[in-house]
Chain A
Amino acid sequence: MTTRTAAPERLRPVRRTRTTNTRRRESLTALGMATPAVVLLIVFLVVPVALAFALAFTDARLISPTPARFVGLRNFTRLFEDPVFYKSLRNTAYFAAVVVPLQAGLALVLALLVNAKVRGVNFFRTVYFLPVVTSMVVVSLLWTFLYRKDGLVNHVISTLTLGHFQGPDWLGDPATAMPAIILMSVWQGVGFHMIIWLAGLQTIPAELYEAAEIDGATPWHRFCHVTWPGLRATRTFVLVTITIAAFSLFTQIRVMTQGGPLDSTTTVVYQAVRTGYDQQQTAYAAAISLIFFVLVLTVSLVQRFLTREKD
């Protein structure tokens, strides 16, 4: 009974500061919701990055009875004298330079195709997207068999040319190993970016197309003046995500070629993992990762600058 009478008494001042209170509760809720993500980010992103920064200047090893010592820039000087590191850099750049335009372009073409309003379009969307949901390790193993000297790819080549042309040992030849991996990676990844483009395409209002059609625009004009400008934001997103994914090329290399033959497929991330785990040189691997971080950051910033809103 007493509470009943007391309640309005206590409610009154609360009602007066309602906005502050609601806001406080809201920010508490927000904080609560953000906490898991923030904790995960700190533990799995901020801490490792900070550790990599610190470790790169020490002589830490995966197995060692002695604690890590500060060694200054030794890891970096060693890195810049390492011929494999330059090959890794070159291969990574090569992979990105080919994959980014190829995959983005192909994905856009596919997106335009499956955006058409025809029967069975969902079937094709699924077909193109299937490789994306398959694990990269599985895909890599599968393609390793396809690429063998007596594998399916060479059988097809031989059959199509009526036996006049024998395909090379795709992954065993320094000249064809990287192109073979590029082809497979594009095949695997193109579906994902097709979906992104597709999402972008569907944000473009249909009225614009109708208007263009009434104005007598050809399909090519419609693409140049309606579709392409309409995909502005999507374009930036696709560009940045493909570039970053291309730079972190690792799984395919680990499974298919281990960086060989003759370092023709080694990449920066592969070299970092090999150095850090197989060769137990944690600090040296941290130095490689640090360089990689700077590299990706620079390229992303340049891309952000080039694709910025110019108005």
Chain B
Amino acid sequence: MVFRKRRLALASVAAAAATALVAGCASGTGGSSSGASGDTLTLWTHNAGNSAELDVVKKIIKDFNESQDTYTVELQSFPQADYNNSVVAAASARKLPCLLDVDGPNVANWAWGGYLAPIDVTGSEVPVEDQLASTVGTYKDQLYSFGFYDVSLAFFARKSVLDEHGIRIPTMDKPWTRSEFDTALAELKKSGEFDYPLEMGTGGSGEWWPYAYSPQLQSFGGDLIDRNGYKAASGILDGKESVEWGNWFRSLVTKGYMAKKSGADPNKDFLAGKSAIQWDGSWNAAKNAGKLGDDLAIIPPVDFGNGPKIGGSSWQWAMSSTCSNKDGAQEWLKFSRQTKYFVDYAQATSTIPATDAAAQQIADYQPGGMFEELVQFAREYATVRPVTPAYPYISTEFQKAAQDILAGADPEDALGQAAKNIDNNLKTNNNYAG
């Protein structure tokens, strides 16, 4: 009898322990708000290891904390490679911080998924209307995020090399056409001076692929998805124009113009003279100018038929939907919207300031400045990646298709399969309604 009772007691202890364990797990998902304890707010950024940008964030936080007595913002930085996963994991556990940064193309996905809350920054020093369109994140007509800067894609080359081979240096009024570009590459290849005349960073990974190459696809007249309602990729991503882009993209490798997989540091290879023309982000403009001086040519993207195109949108700031102190978070966001911080960001990271007012305070970006063209590129050519919650999926599919095309897949098949997969994904998600 005693024995049986003991066993019962033991079993109940075990059961209680198990329940506690399960409850412990559950409480992680059960809490509905976090990210702030009282008036102390946590802020997450992807900038660990990128001290230039991180210092600006720290400065804004310090200024904000000193400017008033109510709120304190605390910083936590993550390495970029792990950042998105950390956010997704924290969101599943409902443990997101109040403030976080988000890569522009992901805003729609995170807003749809309920991670982000709409923000209201009216009354801040810089009005949202003053910003470059690509630096503002909206979804379903609501403002979810804003960034301080954008980046631009451009071709970099040496003027001396282009002159030597009789290649015209294009301007925004008269960019290269497809045939002109192909002729230039053929000419450079023929000279034998370069292993590969063109360097487009094909050794890169992740978001670089859609960021760098989908604008070219768009310039051919194709796109990643039908932007009218975002309900189908078939007929667009595998349409005639897109396939033509695929054939051209593939031909760069078959004709020996471009490496199937470029080296670990494409910019270094370009500066070392291994390649003649580099397709790269504006973040390397200052470095290139420092090395090449006046010889550096900043060249607008090629017009493949539908005008020159570059990708738009970079990292932006947002507020989580689970934030327990939304007033404080909005205060910080509003506070940060001062022209001086736009200037700080652009100077620290060699990026394009998001407002004209800031651009005017930076010599290089002023009208007539060394990098004024890059600002113009961002203004004239930037096409944001499709603003749909399906974007992260589209991005992976496009990346795979483009990589397969370079590896020798038939462009029609590769793009067709990608379009089919995207359609399937849209269908099983009810077109991301709700």
Contacts and interface: CB of A to CB of B under 8 A. Distances in A.
Nearest to B428: A59
A279 B6 CA distance: 51
Interface string A257-285: 01111110000000000100111110000
A260 B399 CA distance: 11
A64 B113 contact: yes
A133 to B, nearest CB: 25
B205 A258 contact: yes
B102 to A, nearest CB: 12
Given A59-B428, A63-B110, A262 B261 contact: no
Given A63-B110, A65-B113, 11 more contacts: A63-B389, A65-B114, A65-B434, A83-B417, A172-B261, A174-B408, A258-B205, A260-B400, A278-B396, A279-B392, A280-B393
A61 interface: yes
Contacts of B428: 59, 74, 78
Interface of B: 3, 6, 10, 21, 85, 88, 91-92, 109-110, 112-115, 205, 260-261, 389, 392-393, 396, 400, 403-404, 407-409, 417, 424-425, 428-429, 434
Interface string A136-173: 00000000000000000000000000000000010010
A279 B109 contact: no
Contacts of B408: 174, 261-262
Contacts of B393: 279-281
Contacts of A65: 112-114, 434
Interface of A: 20, 24, 28, 31, 39, 43, 59, 61-66, 74, 78, 83, 169, 172, 174, 258-263, 274, 277-281
A172 B409 CA distance: 13
A63 B109 contact: yes
B423 to A, nearest CB: 12
A277 B85 CA distance: 8
Contacts of B109: 63
Nearest to B413: A83
Contact of A169 (B260, B389, B409): B260
Q: A-B pairs with the 10 shortest C-beta distances?
A: A261-B407, A63-B113, A65-B114, A262-B407, A278-B396, A279-B396, A172-B261, A279-B393, A260-B403, A66-B434
A63 B92 CA distance: 8
Contacts of B434: 65-66
A62 B88 contact: yes
25 contacts: A24-B3, A28-B10, A43-B21, A59-B428, A59-B429, A61-B429, A62-B88, A62-B92, A63-B112, A64-B429, A66-B434, A78-B424, A172-B260, A260-B403, A260-B404, A260-B407, A261-B404, A261-B407, A261-B408, A262-B404, A278-B396, A279-B392, A279-B393, A280-B392, A281-B425
**Considering residues A63, A66, A78, which has the most beta carbons from chain B within 10 angstroms of its beta carbon?**
A63
Given A24-B3, A172-B260, A260-B403, A274 B396 contact: yes
Contacts, number: 67
Contacts of B10: 28, 31
Nearest to A47: B25
A279 B395 CA distance: 9
A74 B88 CA distance: 25
A69 B88 CA distance: 20
Nearest to A262: B407
B363 to A, nearest CB: 41
A284 B393 CA distance: 13
Contact of B407 (A39, A62, A174, A278): A174
A91 B69 CA distance: 61
Contacts of A280: 88, 392-393
B120 to A, nearest CB: 21
Contacts of A62: 88, 92
Contact of A261 (B110, B114, B389, B403): B403
B344 to A, nearest CB: 32
Contacts of A174: 407-408
Contacts of B113: 63-65
Given A261-B403, A280-B393, A39 B409 contact: no
A277 B206 CA distance: 13
Nearest to A75: B428
Which of B3, B389, B407, B409 counts the most A-chain CB atoms under 10 A from its CB? Answer: B407
Contacts of A59: 428-429
A274 B404 CA distance: 16
A260 B404 CA distance: 7
A17 to B, nearest CB: 9
Contacts of B424: 78
In this complex, the member of A20, A64, A281 whose beta carbon has the largest number of chain B beta carbons within 10 angstroms is: A64
